[in-house]
Amino acid sequence: MNKFLSLIILVFTISFAQAQQTETFKEKGYTLIFKSNYANLDPALKKRMVETFFQVYPKLANDFNKNAHKEVIFHIDTAYKGVAATGGGRIVYNPEWFVKHPGDIDVVTHEVMHIVQNYGDNDGPGWLTEGIADYVRFKYGVDNTGAKWSLTPFKPEHSYKNAYRITARFLNWLEVNGNKGIVVKLDSAMRSNTYKDTIWKDLTGKSLDELWTTYAANPGS
């Protein structure tokens, strides 16, 4: 191999290593592997993401699923064009989302709850999966105010099937109106693949549609 070719390979190797940086953090019995190929990642954002993980994830694991992954991967990936996506113990983030929404740190809270949920191949409703994750963001989030994020105010055209913040608001209403702990029970049923439509009546004495009708009649502020 000639010296010129060796130099090219060396430069490429160094450039790749710089482009894909990996750092490992350990705290409270958990490990966070932080990967990024985004050259302009703000060190303050990285620090805040790591801090949010260790502030929130152990609490969620304790409250919802003590068997949740002990090792989690965060990947800031310029090739990903959504907001964030979770699979197994890995979360991929779009760095451009944070450029446009620098205060939205609780994207981390929502996504790590998906790791805790770990519903696998169960056939439970997707709207409930996302509703629980946004309910958790509402209850455990570290700076929803800074992101100008809140539960969606009720409108008559809403449905519990709308998912995310609309479903989360309904779940919170259930929690504060005589059904404390229902989210933990629903989450457990989803993870154990025992969720059935009848669970709502089993837990509250009313069907899901009956609960929504009651909620819609007096959703609160």
pLDDT tens figures, 4-30: 444 444 434 434 444 679 999 999 899
Domain ranges of the chain: 22-118, 120-221
| 63 DSSP β-pair partners | none
Token code pair at residue 19: 């482009």
* Nearest residue to 74 (alpha-carbon basis) of 49, 104, 101, 106: 49
The per-residue pLDDT of the chain, averaged, comes to: 92
Token code pair at residue 199: 């669970």
Check residue 123 and give its pLDDT: 76
Give the residue-averaged pLDDT of 110-121: 96
Token code pair at residue 189: 């049923």
For 26-53, the pLDDT digits (tens) are 998 999 999 999 999 999 999 999 999 9
Rounded to two decimals, the pTM is 0.90
- β-strands 30-36, 71-76: how paired? parallel
pLDDT above 80: residue 143: yes
Check residue 7 and give its pLDDT: 41
Q: Which of 55-64, 89-98, 113-122, 137-146 has the lowest mean pLDDT?
A: 113-122
Question: CB count, 10 Å around CB of 73?
Answer: 19
Is the four-CA dihedral 176, 180, 186, 188 of positive or negative sign? positive
In the block, residue with structure tokens 């959703």: 219
Domain 22-118 belongs to what topology?
Neutral Protease; domain 2 (1.10.390)
For 148-185, the pLDDT digits (tens) are 999 999 999 999 999 999 999 999 999 999 999 999 99
Check residue 1 and give its pLDDT: 52
* Angle formed at CA 159 by CA 56 and CA 212, multiple of 5 degrees: 90
pLDDT above 70: residue 195: yes
Within 13 Å of residue 9, how many CA atoms lie on the same side as its CB?
Answer: 6
Strands (E), the chain: 21-27, 30-36, 71-76, 84-87, 90-93
